[in-house]
Amino acid sequence: MLPGDDRNSVAESLQLVATEAARYLDRLDEARVRPPSLFGGRREPLPEEADGALATLRELIEMADAESTRSAGPRFFHFVMGGGTPAALGADWLAGALDQIALNWVSSPFAMRLEQVALDWLKELFGLPSTWSGVLTTGATTANFTGLAAGRRWWGLRRGIDVEEEGLTALPPVLATEFVHVSATKALAMLGLGRGRVHVLPPEGVEEALRELDGEPAIVLATAGDVNTGACDPLADLADLAERYGAWLHVDGAFGLFAAVSPSTRHLVEGVDRAHSVSVDGHKWLNVPYDCGVAFVHDPGLHYGAFTTSAAYLGGEDGDRPVFGNLAPEMSRRARALPVWATLHAYGRGGYRRMVERHVELAQRLAGQIDAEPRLERLADVPLNVVCFRYRPDGVAEVELDELNRRLGRAVLEDGRVYFGTTVQDSKVAFRPAIVNWRTGSADVDLIVPVVLELAEDVGGA
Ligand SMILES: Cc1ncc(COP(=O)(O)O)c(C=O)c1O
């Protein structure tokens, strides 16, 4: 069948998917997180002739029902993963149907305008200056890449090098704090700055390192929201240092930037408005469907300089309106502004503040349950939404604890009532459930401790 022969099944295809997806989502609250069955090894050859949309979608729905991780649900505490709010999910589907290219004002004025509004709202939400440029990206990795690319351009210009034209003829020093996330070092690798060249220091060590550079411009990489604990670097102090020593301060705020949304946690990111570039995720605490991130840069000229390109066929620039294809790594871009705009429009600053506060309260509730259980040991303070702990029953030697917790971590994932894996915190294998999903409530969080204790008996830890 040709796609054109299938034209009449558009409405029926969308209705089928809407009905089945709603049914799937309705069952999320009860479902185990792990997929009911793992990939069944279906590896068919590419069909030569085929049956069109409806038959295919029915098969895909069946596969999804059997094999998809219920990561959109309330007890997926692994990684740092939000769900799609109802408004964001609907708008995301609409983005697929409209199929806009969010490149420039010729390809889609609608996507450009919504991205402009969505970014203005996000700057307001996070308390970032309205004069900064911003752009939607695929996630925090590309947002880190974008902010650090602007920093690389800044460094080049300070050294008389137009990096985008000439390439790298030297390399900037990069100082990172111990919370640095692997995505930021991946971004440095992609930028040709070399992840192995990063000096990782405690925040107190940054000043001495800058002093030793003796006025050479450097990039300082800070984190708001350590992935293991939710802890934030002292951004105001680092901003002071960046100012004093003429450095570029990039803040990876993938989820931690949401601390700015509530008066009770705002102090954790105080000073972020004095950074030079900031990244945050959309598919984490903003709860828009994958994939979405945001990069903000304090100097739009440097941001454009890092990503602008043009060709005769692409169409002219339109005055001072932002051309997002010239602020992002990609040119052809999905209209990610639709879900971002829709969720902010639907729930507003108040809705996000209350959601963040509820998640922070739930993290405190879990921390309290862990502290009250002698067989569990909390390994870090809980400033935000991540609770880091391990199983530590009496009578098990310290050297055996890592292996025991690894076994327990595998059992938690296989069991699937709650879902989180292990990490390493202070050289100890530990769990780090992260509470980010708008659906998560106290009943979901209250399952964590009993499930861990029950499975610990099964893996021979009691
Ligand atoms: C602090 C931090 N930065 C960056 C990332 C990477 O984000 P993404 O997977 O959206 O690229 C994460 C993901 O957990 C994170 O916690």
Closest CA to 111 of 341, 303, 368: 341
Is 281's C-beta closer than 6 angstroms to any atom of ligand 1? yes
pLDDT at 41: 63
Instruction: Out of 3.30.420.40, 3.90.1150.170, 3.40.228.10, 3.10.530.10, select the CATH number for domain 349-458.
Output: 3.90.1150.170
Residue 43 pLDDT exceeds 80 = no
pLDDT band at 39; cut points 50, 70, 90: low
Decide whether any atom of ligand 1 lies within 6 Å of the 79 Cβ.
yes
If you average pLDDT over residues 354-364, what whole number do you get?
Answer: 98
| Residue nearest (by alpha carbon) to ligand 1 atom 14 | 80
User: Which pLDDT score is estimated for 318?
Assistant: 62
Query: CA-CA distance, 149 to 158, in Å (whole number)?
Result: 14
Please state, rounded to an integer, the average pLDDT across all residues of the chain: 96
Q: What is the pLDDT of residue 313?
A: 87
Residue 242: which residues within 8 A CB-CB, separation 6 or more?
A: 220, 248, 249, 274, 275, 276
Q: How many of the other CB atoms lie within 10 Å of CB of 400? A: 10
* Ligand 1 contacts CB of residue 139 (under 6 A): yes
Region of poorest pLDDT, from 45-49, 157-161, 181-185, 257-261: 45-49
At residue 317, does pLDDT exceed 70? no
On whether the CB atoms of residues 92 and 289 are closer than 8 A, the answer is yes
pTM: 0.97
Name the least confident of 35-39, 164-168, 226-230, 395-399.
Answer: 35-39
Site to substitute for ligand 1 among 78, 80, 278, most atoms within 8 A of C-beta: 80
What's the pLDDT score for residue 427?
Answer: 98
- Residue 319 pLDDT greater than 80, yes or no: no
Cα(385)–Cα(259) distance, integer angstroms:
10
140 within ligand 1 shell (Cβ under 6 A):
yes
At 237-260, the pLDDT tens digits run 999 999 999 999 999 999 999 999
- Give tens-digit pLDDT for 196-217: 999 999 999 999 999 999 999 9
Do β-strands 376-378 and 389-391 pair in parallel, antiparallel, or remain unpaired? antiparallel
Q: How confident is the model at residue 105 (pLDDT cuts 50, 70, 90)?
A: very high
Comparing C-alpha atoms, which of 182, 185, 217, 224 is closest to residue 203?
224
Domain ranges of the chain: 3-70, 91-344, 349-458
CB-CB contact of 201 with 220 (8 Å) = no
Whether 183 lines ligand 1, by a CB cut-off of 6 Å, is yes
Question: Is pLDDT of 3 > 90?
Answer: yes
pLDDT at 460: 82
The sign one gets for the Cα dihedral 36, 39, 40, 46 is: positive
Secondary structure (DSSP) of 266-320: GGGGTTGGGSSEEEEESSSTT-PPSS-EEEEES-HHHHHHHH----GGG----TT
Q: What is the pLDDT of residue 336?
A: 98
CATH numeric code, 91-344: 3.40.640.10
Q: Report the separation in Å between the CA atom of 275 and the middle of ligand 1, taken as the mean of its atom positions.
A: 18
Question: Does residue 227 have its Cβ closer than 6 Å to ligand 1?
Answer: yes
- How confident is the model over 367-401, as pLDDT tens digits? 999 999 999 999 999 999 999 999 999 999 999 99
Give the single-character DSSP code of 100: -
What the block records as the tokens of 5 is 């022969």
Q: Which of the 8 DSSP states describes residue 331?
A: S
